[in-house]
Structure 1
């Protein structure tokens, strides 16, 4: 009996060890230029050295009227990265960058009227969780709470969503499922109050039922039946981020996990030879785009780390995505080939011919999320 138990134990160790080996083999031991800590350090320092952008584009001619989601999500990613690498110098710089928003730069804080604005509250909540600044807690929670507080001048469609228990800021646009879920997840982490993560999960399931296609991907909208990479990236990263915090006991957990797994399976099939995904995911004739690639890579890294995805199957895909991204960082520590801001249009050429921006925070943000996750595996 003892010998049998030893054999069984050895077999279980071998099987578990093989999965761990597959994970470690592909998501660690990178070439020096692709070391997540090397990359994360320089992209964070680049963010700190770059003034607030206009919608993520550091080369935009006009100064920003207010901070919006690309800056906030790069900031958040940099905070996550600095935390997991215990780099207090970077954290100090990121916290110091926020301080003027309580005084001379207060006008740059956006109004609490839109998903792209309210997600900015994720940054002060992260500062609070890392440094205990009560001012940041109060500011961040106002952004989280106001997303469910119907304003007096709400439009009929906004009131209709609120009456169903959803955020009045609901649009059923794919972007929303990173913006809404992130600020609500941050509020849950900061408070421990389950209402925040529960409302995010309810919102996600509603979006999935409305706009996910049978193959797991998402049209930009019902009127724009194209699988635009960055739009799908928001959904992929949003599901991964939400599932990372959502208790398995939540009634929506299985539905969201199934949607996530279906999407990952399809994405795996469309990865390009260089490790990047195309501007239109199923369009091999379209150019390789970095912001969507970074979000897909992040979603897969998180899935492998948490055991949702088989390491043997998905760790090589995530590694290839990371190496492809790193190959698109120029000598000025800027990511190349980032799709410009893109509104909905029922025209394939509208997506194919979008400008390719250099240094846009739409790509720097998810690159930092990836670096933060990978840094914990080195």
Structure 2
């Protein structure tokens, strides 16, 4: 089965069961755009543009941490950058400017907008901010957007890095003033890895940010690689061997590894076996014949209560996966696109 076909069918299943919006839905729309590009499918591309044209006026919006979600966020900025939706220029610029004024902690990291005095920061923000500002900056020739895109991911990588194992924690100040979450959460590391992957893929070759982006991308890649399970997954708590194998983080990590191999930043001989094992595992264990999904962690921001908030125990025991969890679709689609880009054209063959 062709991985691009799988990616498209995953989206079709997703839009059948719920309205595709919010950040996890926007990531799936972005992945659908990438799918359309790889397929060179003008009909699918028109579908993507039609979906994005519904933002903001024909969508019922929940409360957002980042208002750019209202206009279609990352895929809208990407569609502008690629020349698919020139009419989105004013929207993308307006919300890029809004993002540039978002609350920040004392170190300059974008923080929880609804309680800015508490300086609550979390790695998920790197995913929300960096690709949007990167694509907006490239589309609109605004270097300060690109500068801020790189700055936010670099600052968060440095803030959340566990020097003992090279992995990332998720949050600070959510469990109490000055406290970091204890985790090395699968999707949290994916949230930190994806923006680094977009930076190394799309930054101009002469960008002053490229050396740091490549350095941090390689470092996180090297830290993640030893923790892959025999079945190809990264676990909910990555270093804990008794934690469950988790879909969304695995999909994001494979997306980054695929980009790293294609750009020559990651040695193919070293990373290709892990990449192939991961794609096989996702196809076999995370995607059902009807394109429903399994093994994805639900929404997870410093879980737990009291003294257990943000502990490894809370991440592993409270946040249990279920079928068709809405964070699963985008990462699975990303991994399928990268499988195709890296020469895997038939998921049913032996890897």
| TMscore range, shorter length | 0.7 to 0.9
The equivalent of 2:306 in structure 1 is none
Deviations, residues 71-106 of structure 1 (Å, cap 9, x unaligned): 111111111111121122222222222333354x25
The equivalent of 1:203 in structure 2 is 152
The equivalent of 1:143 in structure 2 is 95
Tell me, yes or no, if the aligned pair for 2:123 and 2:191 is still in contact at 8 Å.
yes
Tell me, yes or no, if the aligned pair for 2:124 and 2:170 is still in contact at 8 Å.
no
d(CA) in 2 for partners of 1:77, 1:179: 15
Seen in structure 2, the aligned counterparts of structure 1 residues 331 and 211 have a Cα distance that, compared at 3 Å, is: same
d(CA) in 2 for partners of 1:118, 1:276: 33
Q: TM-score, normalised by structure 1?
A: 0.77
Seen in structure 2, the aligned counterparts of structure 1 residues 48 and 107 have a Cα distance that, compared at 3 Å, is: closer
The equivalent of 2:139 in structure 1 is 190
**Does the alignment pair 1:219 with 2:173?**
no
Seen in structure 2, the aligned counterparts of structure 1 residues 159 and 51 have a Cα distance that, compared at 3 Å, is: closer
Matched residue of 1:90: which SS? helix
Q: Which runs of 5+ in 1 are unaligned?
A: 1-31, 54-66, 151-157
The equivalent of 1:366 in structure 2 is 331
Tell me, yes or no, if the aligned pair for 1:36 and 1:372 is still in contact at 8 Å.
yes
Seen in structure 2, the aligned counterparts of structure 1 residues 245 and 136 have a Cα distance that, compared at 3 Å, is: same
Q: Which runs of 5+ in 2 are unaligned?
A: 114-118, 172-178, 303-308, 344-351
Q: In proportion to residue count, which structure has more helix?
A: 1
d(CA) in 2 for partners of 1:100, 1:177: 25
Deviations, residues 252-298 of structure 1 (Å, cap 9, x unaligned): 33223222212211211110010011111001101110001001111
Tell me, yes or no, if the aligned pair for 2:247 and 2:332 is still in contact at 8 Å.
no
d(CA) in 2 for partners of 1:116, 1:361: 19
Deviations, residues 51-85 of structure 1 (Å, cap 9, x unaligned): 315xxxxxxxxxxxxx4100111111111111121
Aligned length: 321
d(CA) in 1 for partners of 2:326, 2:39: 21
Tell me, yes or no, if the aligned pair for 2:279 and 2:339 is still in contact at 8 Å.
no
Seen in structure 2, the aligned counterparts of structure 1 residues 189 and 50 have a Cα distance that, compared at 3 Å, is: farther
The equivalent of 1:97 in structure 2 is 51
Q: CA deviation at 1:198?
A: 1.5
Deviations, residues 198-222 of structure 1 (Å, cap 9, x unaligned): 2111222222222212232112234
Seen in structure 2, the aligned counterparts of structure 1 residues 116 and 192 have a Cα distance that, compared at 3 Å, is: closer
d(CA) in 2 for partners of 1:206, 1:149: 17
Q: CA deviation at 1:229?
A: 0.7
Matched residue of 2:334: which SS? helix
d(CA) in 2 for partners of 1:73, 1:81: 12
Matched residue of 1:356: which SS? coil
Which of 1 and 2 has greater Rg?
1
Seen in structure 2, the aligned counterparts of structure 1 residues 182 and 137 have a Cα distance that, compared at 3 Å, is: same
Q: TM-score, normalised by structure 2?
A: 0.83
**Does the alignment pair 1:336 with 2:294?**
yes
Tell me, yes or no, if the aligned pair for 1:205 and 1:252 is still in contact at 8 Å.
no
- What's the Cα RMSD here? 2.5
Seen in structure 2, the aligned counterparts of structure 1 residues 373 and 193 have a Cα distance that, compared at 3 Å, is: farther
Seen in structure 2, the aligned counterparts of structure 1 residues 98 and 314 have a Cα distance that, compared at 3 Å, is: same
Q: CA deviation at 1:306?
A: 0.4
Seen in structure 2, the aligned counterparts of structure 1 residues 245 and 69 have a Cα distance that, compared at 3 Å, is: same
d(CA) in 1 for partners of 2:312, 2:185: 10
Tell me, yes or no, if the aligned pair for 1:68 and 1:116 is still in contact at 8 Å.
no
**Does the alignment pair 1:133 with 2:90?**
no
Q: How does 1:346-361 map to 2 (within 5 A)?
A: 346-353=310-317, 354-361=319-326
